[in-house]
Structure 1
Amino acid sequence: MRLIIVRHGESEWNRIHRYQGQMDAALSDLGLRQAEALAERLKAEQLDQIYSSTLQRAARTAQAIAVHHTNTPFAYSDALLEIHHGEWQGKFADEITANYAAGLREWREHPTRSQMPGGESFSNVLKRTLDFLDECLVKHRDQTVLVSTHDVIVKIFVAHALGMDMDRINRIWVTNASISVIEYGSELPYLVSLSEACHLGKMASTREGQKAL
């Protein structure tokens, strides 16, 4: 299976550095343009299946891609939702830094043993992501599958493919509307590309510009 993983375009809350988690922020004007550029980049791909998170920032990104793939099956999956941020959802990055400094440091350095107050455990998001992957590997063995999802989910796919310690996922940078590709065969999975964003040109988001998930 060839897995094409895209992160959604910039959301309104990405733009203002506000933690969103599973809150349903829409794409910003830039995010809509990023989604269209991403769709143009992928229009020549032969896709056998498109899956998307149910949150509108990922769904709108996937829908832009699907315009060029009208005969490709399209489905939504809650397995692809961003990790739930609990009390952090709706708060600005500066608030999190000021009021949850220890928890933020724990999340960045040791996510596997971290849980945002009232939020989803890393073990749960890991399980639902890898369960989804296992189902795809059975159902789409020799096919190309595209998923439109979120920062933490992309990082889990990549870290799992590389056999990385999951505590190191926050060393992976995934920009908005970027493409990561993993190929799964009879041997080990291969990471073909990570956070490719050449199609965005000057629309590409910077790490400094994205202080919140």
Structure 2
Amino acid sequence: MEFVLIRHAQPEWVKDGLSVVNPPLSALGFRQAEILGERLKDDRFDHVFVSPLLRACQTAAPFLKHHSRPQIIEPWLEEIREPAWHGQSAEVTVKAYNDDAKANSLDRWSGLTGGEPVDEFVARIRSGCVDFLARNGVRRQESLLPVWDIDDPQTSFVFVAHAGTNSVIICHLLGLEPTPWEWERFVIGHASMTTIKAIKLGDGYTFSLENLSDLEHLALVDRTR
């Protein structure tokens, strides 16, 4: 079994000095998405699912077009929900993130004031992942180790989502304990690909992180975080 976790391309977080919630891609982001789609045009995957947020949908579009696939939304892939600061000065956003980065470790579970708490976000993604995996024949065994039963180990999935979402999924599949800094734990670039594959054990399967944030399709000047 293979999971390819794609992070959306660069969004236009700020327009005319004002913050944008659920932003579209920037001009560079659209170029990154086209290059990503070109790289993946000859690859074959069984299932492709997309976050409902605009930046993920726009990133997925060139890839889906190459494969004549419809856009299939999985709502649980949505990134952590931001505070309602659409239209506010970008300085407000920058200050909020800087203040959060200075918080004590346990306090960071609370997240940004007015946004989705990080502990609730992690629980939402993990719960969504458990449900998705169960629907697709993947169940974690009652074991101290991250060992899984997989009905069809040849199946491949692509998720077009976000740095936070993808980081939580990585931790869940690898059996890592969650932290309130999953974004920093795994550094994932825009329009990058992270690949996780199942490894056969004597009593089931475990998952291996084959590569993280593969950006080889993008020139160095086009790589962003």
- In the superposition, the TM-score normalised over structure 1's length comes to 0.80
Mark the structure with the bigger radius of gyration: 2
Shift of 1:16: 8.8
Residue 188 of structure 2: aligned partner: 174
Residue 208 of structure 2: aligned partner: 190
- Where 1:166 maps in the other structure, the secondary structure is coil
Shift of 1:15: 8.9
Question: Paired residue for 1:83, among 77, 80, 83?
Answer: 80
Q: Is the 8 A contact 1:52 1:80 kept in 2?
A: yes
Residue 47 of structure 1: aligned partner: 45
Question: Paired residue for 1:124, among 114, 120, 124?
Answer: 120
Give the letter for the 1:31 counterpart: G
Shift of 1:147: 0.8
Q: Is the 8 A contact 1:34 1:177 kept in 2?
A: yes
Q: Is the 8 A contact 1:175 1:204 kept in 2?
A: no
**Mapped pair 1:145 → 2:163:** no
Could you tell which deviates more after superposition, 48-57 or 96-105?
96-105
Give the letter for the 2:34 counterpart: E
Give the letter for the 2:8 counterpart: H
1:1-213 matches, cutoff 5 A? 1-13=1-13, 23-70=21-68, 72=69, 74-87=71-84, 94-98=91-95, 101-106=98-103, 109-110=105-106, 113-140=109-136, 141-142=152-153, 143-167=155-179, 168-169=181-182, 170-184=184-198, 186-206=204-224, 210=225
- Where 1:189 maps in the other structure, the secondary structure is strand
What RMSD, in angstroms, separates the aligned Cα atoms of the two structures?
A: 2.9
- Where 2:194 maps in the other structure, the secondary structure is strand
Report the Cα distance in structure 1 between the residues aligned to 2:31 and 2:93, rounded to whole angstroms: 29
Could you tell which deviates more after superposition, 110-119 or 184-193?
110-119
Q: Is the 8 A contact 1:6 1:177 kept in 2?
A: yes
Give the letter for the 1:39 counterpart: G
- Where 1:106 maps in the other structure, the secondary structure is coil
Q: Structure 1 102/29 Cα, relative in aligned 2: closer, same or farther at 3 Å?
A: closer
Q: Is the 8 A contact 1:183 1:192 kept in 2?
A: yes
Could you tell which deviates more after superposition, 175-184 or 72-81?
72-81
Report the Cα distance in structure 2 between the residues aligned to 1:18 and 1:105, rounded to whole angstroms: 24
Structure 2 stretches lacking a partner, 5+ long: 137-151
- Where 1:188 maps in the other structure, the secondary structure is strand
Q: Is the 8 A contact 1:182 1:189 kept in 2?
A: yes
- Where 1:187 maps in the other structure, the secondary structure is strand
Give the letter for the 1:199 counterpart: H
Q: Is the 8 A contact 1:8 1:58 kept in 2?
A: yes
| Structure ranking higher in strand proportion | 2
Shift of 1:193: 1.0
- In the superposition, the TM-score normalised over structure 2's length comes to 0.76
Shift of 1:112: 6.0
Q: Is the 8 A contact 1:111 1:122 kept in 2?
A: no
What is the number of residues matched between the two proteins?
203
Shift of 1:97: 4.9
Q: Structure 1 48/17 Cα, relative in aligned 2: closer, same or farther at 3 Å?
A: farther
| Structure ranking higher in helix proportion | 1
